[in-house]
């Protein structure tokens, strides 16, 4: 497993990759190096996922998932340097959004600014009860630039998203769950085990099935219902010719667990 300066990458179970943001002394704030390393990881597994079928993204420590952009690093930055850094951030957020494998966020603490945008870019998230959430950019004279203005309205609806972004006020894990940002609230000790349990369940299903289903959902949401339904059938039909489809039906009839190979 490749080593990084700002991340820890492990495989806590077969077919599951865990990426841990590892700057606890800075509330796991997103600096240039972390942006580069996140981009590198997601690009690598997009090109060649190997045996990985599901990703868990979490943070080090018990206080913060990610506090957003590292404002100490940004203090005094020139306009050109700021834009160059943000281009690095844009690439990894786009890479997360386009990632073919499922991404589960284990929100171990506060998620502000770009940290919340990571949560929103994932497929779904579990979080701890004491976590706070906010898109704080308008307090800094900027605006969300990691997908927040697009992913948040799709999660919570446009009117609530406008309130969250315009006010920059924090909200609770309970509100995040009620509004559709979190799928589940966990005790701190149970957060990673519950995420891992779900990741293992996903990884045990047909990997091509999961990828095609994710593609149909992601792209279908960007179009009208009729085109979305046709996109679904196109994604479905590609699975008919796979070895995994044959194995799944055979295993069902033989009353055994299927052995999927992603072929």
In CATH, what is the architecture of 7-203? Alpha-Beta Complex (3.90)
Under 8 Å between Cβ of 11 and 56: no
What is the mean predicted confidence (pLDDT) over 113-133?
97
Average of pLDDT values for 152-159?
Answer: 96
Predicted structure pTM score = 0.93
Taking 90 as the threshold, does the pLDDT of residue 86 lie above it? yes
**Closest to 129 measured CA to CA, from 172, 66, 192:** 172
- Using the 8-state DSSP alphabet, how is residue 75 labeled? T
Q: What percent of the chain clears pLDDT 70, i.e. is strictly above it? A: 100
Q: Would you say residue 163 has pLDDT above 80?
A: yes
Give the pLDDT confidence of 238-263 residue by residue, as tens digits.
999 998 899 888 889 989 898 888 89
| pLDDT higher than 80, residue 65 | yes
Residue 59 CB: number of other CB atoms within 10 A?
Answer: 27
> Which CATH superfamily hosts domain 206-253?
Lyase 2-enoyl-coa Hydratase, Chain  A, domain 2 (1.10.12.10)
pLDDT digits (tens, 9 = 90+) for 27-59: 999 999 999 999 999 999 999 999 999 999 999
The band of 1, judged by pLDDT with boundaries at 50, 70 and 90, is: low
What confidence score (pLDDT) does residue 259 get? 87
Helix, strand, coil abundance in the chain, percent, nearest 5 = 55, 15, 30
- 17 close to 56: Cβ distance less than 8 angstroms: yes
Q: Where are the domains of the chain?
A: 7-203, 206-253
d(CA 161, CA 155): 9
| Distance from C-alpha of 156 to C-alpha of 136, rounded to nearest angstrom | 17
The per-residue pLDDT for range 172-186, each reduced to its tens digit, is 999 999 999 999 999
At which residue do the structure tokens 């179009």 appear? 223
Sequence-ordered strand ranges (E) for the chain: 7-13, 16-21, 54-59, 64-66, 103-107, 110-112, 124-128, 132-134, 171-172, 184-186
- pLDDT value at 2 more than 80: no
Contact by Cβ (8 Å): 19, 7:
yes
Reported confidence tier of residue 17, pLDDT bands at 50, 70, 90 = very high
Mean pLDDT value of segment 95-114? 96
Determine the Cα–Cα distance for residues 3 and 27; give it in Å rounded to an integer: 20
What are the catalytic residues? 117, 137
């Amino acid at each position: 497993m490749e080593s990084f300066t700002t991340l820890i990458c492990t495989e806590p179970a077969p077919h599951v990759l865990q990426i841990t943001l590892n700057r606890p002394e800075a509330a796991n704030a997103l600096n240039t190096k972390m942006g580069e390393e996140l981009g590198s990881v997601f690009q690598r597994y997009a090109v060649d996922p190997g045996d990985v079928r599901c990703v868990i993204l979490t943070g080090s420590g018990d206080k913060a998932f990610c506090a957003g952009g590292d404002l100490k690093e940004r203090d005094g930055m020139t306009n050109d340097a700021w834009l160059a850094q943000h281009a690095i951030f844009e690439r990894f957020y786009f890479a997360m959004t386009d990632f073919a494998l499922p991404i589960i966020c284990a929100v171990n603490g506060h998620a502000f600014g770009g940290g919340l945008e990571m949560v929103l870019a994932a497929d779904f998230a579990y979080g701890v009860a004491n976590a706070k959430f906010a898109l704080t950019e308008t307090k800094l004279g900027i605006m969300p630039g990691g997908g927040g203005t697009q992913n948040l309205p799709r999660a919570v609806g446009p009117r609530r998203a406008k309130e969250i972004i315009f006010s920059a006020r924090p909200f609770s894990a309970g509100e995040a769950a009620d509004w559709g940002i979190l799928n589940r609230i966990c005790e701190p000790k149970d957060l990673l085990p519950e995420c891992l349990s779900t990741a293992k369940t996903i990884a045990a299903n047909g990997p091509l099935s999961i990828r095609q289903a994710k593609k149909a959902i992601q792209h279908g949401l960007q179009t009208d219902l009729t085109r979305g339904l046709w996109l679904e059938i196109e994604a479905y039909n590609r699975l008919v010719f796979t070895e995994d489809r044959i194995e799944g039906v055979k295993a069902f009839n033989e009353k055994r667990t299927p052995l999927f190979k992603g072929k």
